[in-house]
Amino acid sequence: MKYFLIAGEKSGDIHGAQLIKALVKLDPKAEIFAWGGEHMRNAGAVLLKSLEQLNFMGFIEVLAHLRTIIRNFKEVKQQISRLQPDVIILIDFPGFNLKLAKWLKQNHFKVVYYILPQVWAWKKNRMYALQANADLLLSILPFEKEFYEVHGIRVEYIGHPLVEELEESKRHIIPLILEKPILAIFPGSRKQEIKRLLPIMLKAARKFKNEFSIFIAGVSHLRSNLYREVAADEHIIWDNSHQLLFSASAAIVKSGTSTLEAALCRVPQVICYKASWFSYFIARTVVSKNIRFISLVNLILNKQVCPELIQHKCSPSNIETELKKILENKELILKDYAKLNELLHETSASTKAAHLILNHIPSSI
């Protein structure tokens, strides 16, 4: 079969790569094309568009790059029309992928949505667009299946791919062993996130430089001086967040997939989020009032396990205060992390996804 995968973020690239490996095992003659990153390329996809040309965050940033986004829509439609894939697999990235799903359905392509948009948090009407425009919905969060089914929408829960990705990494990664424990900084994988968050995170982390070695998780598709403008003496680990997490004793983490990675690696963390004032204002108006947390760790456990410092609360002094608290309460946090592991420990999420895709999409294999 011929597959076309679209991921617009680093986490989607990693999860997409795992799915590609699982698909190839079940379908050795698979032809795989992708919009994504190096993980998907290394897994065997023909990469037609790279992450740095897709990854825009926030309302202002999207408006500023609107011409590029429109050009990307035109390009992907032309590529899909030319290649005529048997199935298009959309991985998260809802601002782009949901619009594309509508066009795909109108043009009679088979669509799988893998890693669903967080419609339970905001824009609930999107779930009906998913129902209308995707042939198969694959969920990676344990509470999502019930949420969708209450609204009459069938989804398949496959477990979280991070579980298998971390287990695989653990077999190959050698943790860093230093004289001092490691304090890890995860400022995100987008240019805007790093420029906004890294200086704040570093200022807080440097208060602990006598007790910890400070390491930053860097992504190589962004220029290195973006980090070096604020990180003078700190170590940077490029494109190997798992090695850093397996080595860290504590972390300061931008809200997103990395918070869940840190929890599954048993690393106490302070979670941070800061957007432009306009993006934050818009988000506050559309996010459901029933949503108490922003991080996956706290959302899945439905309690505050890790402190969340959002917008104006995300300051060096507040991060410093919360870091001291989590270091004092490490054992309690690790007990909650153990519960999280139990909830998510559905192994082989990618293999389950691949089986469902091949069973659902008519093929000639």
Task: Identify whether the C-beta of residue 156 lies closer than 8 Å to the C-beta of residue 136.
Answer: yes
Residue ranges of alpha helices (H) inside 225-329 are 225-228, 241-247, 257-264, 277-286, 296-301, 316-328
Report percent pLDDT > 70 for the chain.
91
Q: Please tell me the distance from the alpha carbon of residue 235 to that of residue 219, in angstroms, as a whole number.
A: 13
Q: What's the whole-number mean pLDDT along residues 179-190?
A: 94
Give the residue, 14 or 122, on which the prediction is more confident.
Answer: 14
Token pair of 5 as six digits: 């995968």
Q: Which residue in this structure is represented by tokens 């419609």?
A: 119
Q: Judging by beta carbons within 10 Å of its beta carbon (0-12, 13-18, 19+), is residue 359 exposed, middle or buried? A: exposed
Q: Is 294 left (phi over 0), alpha (psi -120 to 50) or beta?
A: alpha
Residue 68 pLDDT greater than 90, yes or no: no
Check: CB of residue 65 under 8 Å from CB of residue 56. yes
Selection from 50, 277, 300 nearest residue 159 by Cα: 300
pLDDT attached to residue 361? 75
Q: How far is CA 166 from the centre of its chain?
A: 14
Region 247-257 average pLDDT = 95
Q: pTM above 0.85?
A: no
Name all domains of the chain by residue range, CATH numbers in brackets.
2-159+347-360 (3.40.50.2000), 167-344 (3.40.50.2000)
Q: Please determine, for residue 64, whether its predicted confidence score (pLDDT) is greater than 60.
A: no
Distance CA 344, CA 338 (A): 10
Q: What is the pLDDT of residue 126?
A: 86
